[in-house]
Amino acid sequence: MDPDPETPICSAKGCRAAAVWVLAWNNPKLHTPERRKTWLACEEHREHLSQFLGVRGFLKDVVRLEEWKAPEGA
């Protein structure tokens, strides 16, 4: 069963589950320090995606989707 088209889905490859988390990240070689890119994660993939970004030094914040407020100008 596919999620509602209005429901944000997990960014993990092949996952169609509803997103629960926002992973805010930044690649310092490409982005200004205040810039935040985002990936969405379901419960199952939050840790894996966080580790992927974390080992590269990109992960800046992990916030529940309902609490996420995009930075101004984003």
Phi, psi of 32 (to 5 degrees): -65, 155
In this prediction the pTM is: 0.84
**CA distance linking residue 30 with residue 48, whole number of Å:** 23
Q: How does residue 3 score in pLDDT terms, banded at 50, 70 and 90? A: low
Helix (H) or strand (E) holding 51: helix 46-55
* Tens digits of residue pLDDT in 25-60: 999 999 999 999 999 999 999 999 999 999 999 999
Are 9 and 19 in contact, with CB atoms under 8 Å apart?
yes
**CA distance linking residue 25 with residue 8, whole number of Å:** 18
* Tens digits of residue pLDDT in 4-20: 567 899 999 999 999 99
